[in-house]
A and B are shown apart, each in its own frame.
Chain A
Amino acid sequence: MVLLLKVLNKTGMGLRTDILYKKINLLLKSRLFLHVLFWLAYLCYFALMEGFYKSQYSAVLVIYLRNLPIIMACAYFTNYVLVPDYLLAKKYLLFSLTFIFSAVFFSTCLKIVFFRYLIKEYYSAEGIGTYYKAGFFYLPYYLSHLLELYTVTFVFGFIKTFRNWHASQQNAIQLKQEKTAAELKFLKSQLNPHFLFNVLNSLYALALKNSDQTADMILRLSSMMDFILHESGNSSILFSKELKLIEDYIEMEKLRYGDRLQFTMTVEGCQSDFLIAPLLVFPFIENSFKHGVSTNIDSPLIVIHIKYDEHVLNVTVKNSKGIVDPDIKSGYNEGIGLKNVTRRLELTYPGQYTLSINSEDSLFSIQLILRLRRQ
């Protein structure tokens, strides 16, 4: 198919085949399509095999089509309810009981359908006779239904597990890459000329006038460097460390901008420490200073609220907006970037967070609600 498209492409139907190619690609990736494909393959395989053997395609197809809903129900129920909710959740007893019950149920269903609608053209009268004679509860026939059901279910489950495993593998690789990129970017953005040298210049000013603040600021800078070098590489850290980083950073920025800044920060319920992936909260604070303070000519406003309650971390950052001079190169303004953090949230805490970004005329606000698992 792809080859054909490529040929078509070369022969000048450029644009249209291009769109077609994309659509086919999209279709191949869609889940519904894959499921339809699976069941079609199943039908074709058995109907053709048995049909060929008995050379009665239509009759065989009718039998398989009649059985299909039951087999599908069994495959979906087992692979989408039983396995993930009970087996993978380690509820083994519940799993075994439900499994046995559902196996009996589905094979009975199959048996009923089979028992009622035996096709005369297909089976010999003799065969039908023996089947009915054996009675509804004849075990070997029951087992053959069971086998049919669970072969398909097993193959279905195998494909599903393989795909999941592959996806999570890909996810893990991506997560690792994104994390490395984030760390690198953090290192770059924090140790880049702008922040570090400006802070050093401020320290130099303090030292020149023998200020008492000098020593404290050196310690804060040192503590930030320590975080960057030793903590930011871990997959999770104590939140108190991230808070310390935020505090140190804020003190540095306060020192730089002096009285110009209107700033409030409240922290609630973080007395008991908890684990969290590093550098998920800090970028929001950093962002507020970058976009709020460094670009604002009057007295910029920053309000930060951090709250931890019942394993839910709630971070709100609001800052007044300034005007960004288009002349300034992006190096400073981008920083780690909200995009990067969103991506890392998606990879580390999928489905556990909500992030709302609100950009009004003069106010920019971000709210992150993160549900952390019990440790």
Chain B
Amino acid sequence: MKTQCLIVDDEPLAIEVIATHLKNFSELVIAGSCRNAVEAFEFIKKNKIDLVFLDIQMPEINGLSFVKSLKHPPKIIFTTAYRDYAIDGFDLNVLDYLLKPISLERFIQAIDKYYASFPVASTNTPDILFTSESTRPSIFVKTERKMVRIFLDEIYFIESLKEYVIIYTKDKKVITKTAISFLESTLPGEQFVRIHRSYIVAVQKISAYTPTSVEVLNKELPIGRNYKLEALKQLTK
């Protein structure tokens, strides 16, 4: 069962930001978006919604009154440009309070809070599990409450976002909570190279490189000054 999400904001571009961030999560589906609270009220009545991204400042009925008006509110994450509604938000027992502009890092944290809000006995499972199969090495990565298998030869690159990393394969992104330095030390050194504070790339997947950047999966990633020598040595080996 995938999580059904609703985005409520009176500004179309603000809806787009949330929608763009949500694409990083395969288990979260955008069920719809509304431009005001009245529309959202109808939408929630007709559809089963698990998670609502809700703007506070909206015409006629604001986000706070909207939440109060719901008898069985779904999980709520407030999105607002106001810094001073946070206390009201916590009074209403909402999951999180995102301040615009909403960065992906901060958004991931909020989604984490959403998953953490379920009383599931999965707390013992590690975030990353290395399999012992030798034929085709893979790892299990905890993402969105599941352990997802990723084959090492499918990984293009890994991006760090503070306490999270995004693992990019050809057609999907997997977000998990781990440190990039941990992955650097555990992934096989001949296949993966750290090129930047925020990036690890799979050597085999690099399509081009210059002394300052590498091209992988049609993206240009910078080579950090501190990693330059090591990275170039690996690449030219």
| Chain A residues within 8 Å of B, Cβ to Cβ | 193-198, 200-206, 208-209, 255-260, 293-297, 322-323, 325, 327-329, 331-332
B189 within 8 A of A: no
Q: Collect the chain B residues with CB atoms within 8 Å of residue A328's CB.
A: 57, 62
Q: Mark B56-77, 1 if CB is under 8 A from A, else 0.
A: 0101111011000000000000
Q: Collect the chain A residues with CB atoms within 8 Å of residue B102's CB.
A: 201, 204
Could you list 8 A-B pairs, sorted by A, with CB under 8 Å? A193-B83, A193-B84, A201-B11, A202-B11, A202-B14, A205-B13, A208-B17, A327-B65
B179 within 8 A of A: no
Give the contacts of B1-23 with A (CB-CB under 8 A). 10-14, 16-17, 20
B16 touches A197 (CB 8 A): no
B62 touches A322 (CB 8 A): no
Q: Which residue of A lies closest to B37 (CB)?
A: A297
Q: How far is the CA of A296 from the CA of B38 in the complex (A)?
A: 12
B11 touches A198 (CB 8 A): yes
* Given A201-B14, A209-B16, A327-B64, also A193-B82 (CB < 8 A): yes
Q: Collect the chain B residues with CB atoms within 8 Å of residue A329's CB.
A: 84
How far in angstroms is the closest Cβ of chain A from B108?
15
Q: How far is the CA of A110 from the CA of B227 in the complex (A)?
A: 105
B81 touches A201 (CB 8 A): yes
How far in angstroms is the closest Cβ of chain B from A188?
13
Q: How far is the CA of A206 from the CA of B101 in the complex (A)?
A: 12
Q: Collect the chain B residues with CB atoms within 8 Å of residue A197's CB.
A: 81, 99-101
A255 touches B13 (CB 8 A): yes
Size of B's binding interface in residues, CB under 8 A = 26
B145 within 8 A of A: no
B228 within 8 A of A: no
Q: Collect the chain A residues with CB atoms within 8 Å of residue B64's CB.
A: 327
* Given A198-B11, A198-B81, also A209-B61 (CB < 8 A): no
B173 within 8 A of A: no
A296 touches B17 (CB 8 A): no
B101 touches A201 (CB 8 A): yes
B10 touches A257 (CB 8 A): yes
How far in angstroms is the closest Cβ of chain B from A286?
15
Q: Collect the chain A residues with CB atoms within 8 Å of residue B62's CB.
A: 325, 327-328
B60 touches A322 (CB 8 A): yes
* Given A201-B101, A208-B16, A208-B17, also A256-B11 (CB < 8 A): yes
Q: Collect the chain A residues with CB atoms within 8 Å of residue B59's CB.
A: 293-297, 322-323
Q: Collect the chain A residues with CB atoms within 8 Å of residue B33's CB.
A: none
Most interface-central of B17, B20, B84 (chain A CB within 10 A): B17
Q: Collect the chain A residues with CB atoms within 8 Å of residue B82's CB.
A: 193-194, 331
How far in angstroms is the closest Cβ of chain A from B181?
28
A sample of 5 more A-B contacts (CB under 8 A), given A202-B13, A205-B14, A327-B64, is A194-B82, A198-B11, A206-B13, A208-B16, A328-B62
From the candidates B20, B61, B100, name the one contacting A198 in the complex (CB within 8 A).
B100
Q: Which residue of A lies closest to B20 (CB)?
A: A208
How far in angstroms is the closest Cβ of chain B from A235?
33
| Chain B residues within 8 Å of A, Cβ to Cβ | 10-14, 16-17, 20, 35-36, 38, 57, 59-62, 64-65, 81-84, 99-102
Q: Which residue of B lies closest to A205 (CB)?
A: B13
How far in angstroms is the closest Cβ of chain B from A365?
20
How far in angstroms is the closest Cβ of chain A from B18?
9
Q: Which residue of B lies closest to A322 (CB)?
A: B59
Q: Collect the chain A residues with CB atoms within 8 Å of residue B13's CB.
A: 201-202, 205-206, 255-256, 258
A201 touches B17 (CB 8 A): yes
Q: Collect the chain B residues with CB atoms within 8 Å of residue A257's CB.
A: 10-12
Q: How far is the CA of A366 from the CA of B55 in the complex (A)?
A: 30
Most interface-central of A208, A259, A293, A322 (chain B CB within 10 A): A208
Q: How far is the CA of A197 from the CA of B83 in the complex (A)?
A: 10
* Given A205-B14, A209-B16, also A297-B36 (CB < 8 A): yes
How far in angstroms is the closest Cβ of chain B from A321?
11
Q: Collect the chain A residues with CB atoms within 8 Å of residue B11's CB.
A: 198, 201-202, 256-258
Q: How far is the CA of A197 from the CA of B16 in the complex (A)?
A: 16
Q: Which residue of B lies closest to A253 (CB)?
A: B11
Q: How far is the CA of A331 from the CA of B84 in the complex (A)?
A: 10
Q: Which residue of B lies closest to A196 (CB)?
A: B81
A200 touches B61 (CB 8 A): no
Q: How far is the CA of A277 from the CA of B99 in the complex (A)?
A: 36
Q: Which residue of B lies closest to A255 (CB)?
A: B13
Q: Which residue of A lies closest to B38 (CB)?
A: A297
Q: How far is the CA of A257 from the CA of B10 in the complex (A)?
A: 7
B12 touches A204 (CB 8 A): no
Q: How far is the CA of A258 from the CA of B16 in the complex (A)?
A: 12
Q: How far is the CA of A278 from the CA of B20 in the complex (A)?
A: 40
From the candidates B16, B38, B65, name the one contacting A325 in the complex (CB within 8 A).
B65
Q: Which residue of A lies closest to B18 (CB)?
A: A205
How far in angstroms is the closest Cβ of chain B from A186?
18
**Lowest 9 A-B CB distances belong to which pairs?**
A197-B81, A201-B100, A205-B13, A204-B101, A201-B101, A258-B12, A202-B13, A198-B81, A205-B16
Q: How far is the CA of A260 from the CA of B61 in the complex (A)?
A: 17
Q: Which residue of B lies closest to A211 (CB)?
A: B13
B60 touches A205 (CB 8 A): no
Q: How far is the CA of A203 from the CA of B14 in the complex (A)?
A: 10
Q: Collect the chain A residues with CB atoms within 8 Å of residue B60's CB.
A: 295-297, 322-323, 325
Q: Collect the chain B residues with CB atoms within 8 Å of residue A323's CB.
A: 59-60
Q: How far is the CA of A198 from the CA of B60 in the complex (A)?
A: 18
Q: How far is the CA of A64 from the CA of B36 in the complex (A)?
A: 80
How far in angstroms is the closest Cβ of chain B from A208?
5
Most interface-central of B10, B38, B83 (chain A CB within 10 A): B10
A200 touches B35 (CB 8 A): no
